[in-house]
Chain A
Amino acid sequence: MNILLPPGRRLERIGIALLIVVAVIFPKAYGGQDYLISQARLVMIYGLAAVTLNLLVGFGGQISLGHAGLLAIGAYTVPVLGNNYNWPTWALILAAGVTTALVGLVLGLPTGRLRGHYLAITTLGFGLAVPELALSTRVAPLTNGSEGLIVPTPTIGSFTFDSAGHPEAFYYLCLVVVLLCLLAILSLLGSSSGRRFMAVRDSEDAAAAMGINTWLTKVVLFTTSAFFTGIAGALLAFQDGVIAPTTFPFGLSLLFLAIVIMGGMASVWGSIAGALILIVVQVEASNQPGLSDAIIGAVVVLILLLAPDGLAGLARRLWRLAAGLGIPWSAGVGPRLRRQPAAEPPEAGERPPVEVRHGR
């Protein structure tokens, strides 16, 4: 079904399809290696979080230096609700999304006035304030301060998806949730709502002239991005089993930014691929105690200097190179190639026109 994916973005579709195939096969290929499965789950979770950040900064043109803060809200919602009330797992995940969405909404409210560096500082402050609040003695009754909270294990009916006992089952649970979220996001991006975000990003004046309430759009953007971030946070909570303020340092917000930029702004598959790469880097770097952050920082700087439009940009350029060289199947993005001729405008009452491919 063509309409579910961003129309015409052949490269994007190939990338996503490949990732899905790999993701589905992975546990079968590496079954038994629990650590790897766990890291793969982390890739999916971080990938989703990166995609939601990309929605905000890449597709929406906003700035957020406090993404870890939103993740924390989603993550904390699970044990806070799950330990005190006996909610089913799916409800906990949804609640995490909703709670974080509400916070995102509040964050989006000042964007009528705040942009650029001011928005950067505000989101930075938010990202720092959340773990600080979780740690503080005033909020401790809720969050248990530095000791953190134990997260109930996810269940569906009587089946338990604990990450220790049934790692593969939990992997597939994560996969399903993440895929559903990605599907929703992609569907959104290919619709008028997605166009609205991008229009505001590209030219607020023209967007207003075209009837878009730019402030409201930004609020909706923050809320939507936060909703899915909350879901990623919930998955993270289940993944880790314990949630504490130290799970969400500033470095995590930076990691997500790095993933987004490395993968390519406004590229969904790029963010997921970026998550994969940086988690691999992080795993390797954790062999060097104290330097892991520095290595990540170095990787980020290098990539930004060499390829500021990230993996997706690189892929796009290679693709065009291939198109320029005349390789037939790469004709998706070729700049000078003529597409199908314009369809005849149908007379009123006729059958619907031929499905037209468009987009980049």
Chain B
Amino acid sequence: MAGSAELALQDVSLRFGGVQAIRDINLTVPPGGITAIIGPNGAGKTSVLNVVSRFYRPQEGWVTYGNTNLLTLRPYQVIHHGIARSFQNVALFKELSVFDNLLVGADHLSKVTLVENIFRLPRSRTHERNARRRAERVLEFLDIGHLRNRVAGELSFGDQKLVDMGRALMADPTFLMLDEPAAGLQESQKVWLGRVIPGIPDEYGATVLLIDHDMGLVLGVSSNVIVMDHGAKIAEGPPDEVRNDPRVIAAYLGQEET
């Protein structure tokens, strides 16, 4: 898979009926490294991810990843260009085992046909072997190997979030979007997440774009922070600058600090 590229949103606006979710935003995420988007609830952070994943079509603006105009893609094509994501409300394949959930993440990497699968022709077997090998790596990386045979729907929310992230990693992304990875995790898991995430660009060669409310996590892992409020970008910069920016503090006033 080609190397990581720059994600850019230009003059993007997104409306739902009367609600303006994203307001004329200009955003770039440079390749390599970890960028975070923070902001109070309703700021439009998840909407940005959903626009990039092509679940929503913005009324205005351009969205590009490297040389690709993402707006020409259908949702299932996004991953072929290297962009994978996790979900705020998890969206695991609840009836499948954790291991199978991971395998699905890698299934897009090969073009095995149905007939090949039925007769277990070589390409099918090779794909299975490679996918399983990759899944073992991911299980180890996230330290969830002991959950491999559990039915995904039966896990605790925090564990499900880890599997969700693992599934995205399985897809061999060059750009990984994590939607509130720390939400619902226990304190110990958050700490550990803070150690795992920085390893992703090196281990998997992917840029990380992360959305979260947990200030400690965000400020600890990111090299660049973008702050949104009411659908617009209000600040951007390295964590320390952003944390002391008066506009950012004002936006969060009244919100509980995590």
Contacts and interface: CB of A to CB of B under 8 A. Distances in A.
Do A and B share a direct contact in the complex (Cβ within 8 angstroms)?
yes
B95 A195 contact: no
Nearest to B54: A208
A206 B87 contact: yes
Contact of A203 (B76, B93, B140, B151): B93
A210 B136 contact: no
A309 to B, nearest CB: 11
Given A192-B107, A212-B108, A187 B148 contact: no
A358 B100 contact: yes
Contacts, number: 145
Interface string A175-198: 000000000100110011111101
Interface of B is mostly: helix
A2 B128 CA distance: 13
A199 B148 contact: no
A62 to B, nearest CB: 15
Given A210-B79, A210-B108, A358 B149 contact: yes
A205 interface: yes
Contacts of A353: 132-133, 136
Contact of A342 (B84, B93, B136): B136
B59 to A, nearest CB: 21
Interface stretch (A126-134, A143-151, A333-341): A333-341
Contact of B112 (A192, A224, A266): A192
B131 interface: yes
B96 A342 contact: no
B176 to A, nearest CB: 12
Contacts of B96: 195, 198-199, 202
Contacts of B107: 192, 195-196, 210-212
A140 interface: no
B79 to A, nearest CB: 4
A202 B104 CA distance: 12
Given A210-B104, A210-B167, A191 B117 contact: yes
A90 B216 CA distance: 68
B117 A187 contact: yes
B91 A345 contact: no
A356 B84 contact: no
B150 A198 contact: no
A299 interface: no
Contact of A198 (B93, B132, B146): B93
Nearest to A4: B120
A341 B143 CA distance: 11
Contacts of B76: 207-209, 211-214
B97 A191 contact: no
B139 interface: yes
Interface in A316-357: 335, 338-339, 341-343, 345-346, 352-353, 356-357
B199 to A, nearest CB: 15
A210 to B, nearest CB: 6
Nearest to B95: A202
Contact of A192 (B92, B128, B133, B140): B128
A339 B149 CA distance: 8
Contact of A356 (B80, B105, B132): B132
Interface of A: 3-4, 8, 184, 187-188, 191-196, 198-199, 201-203, 205-214, 220, 224, 266, 335, 338-339, 341-343, 345-346, 352-353, 356-360
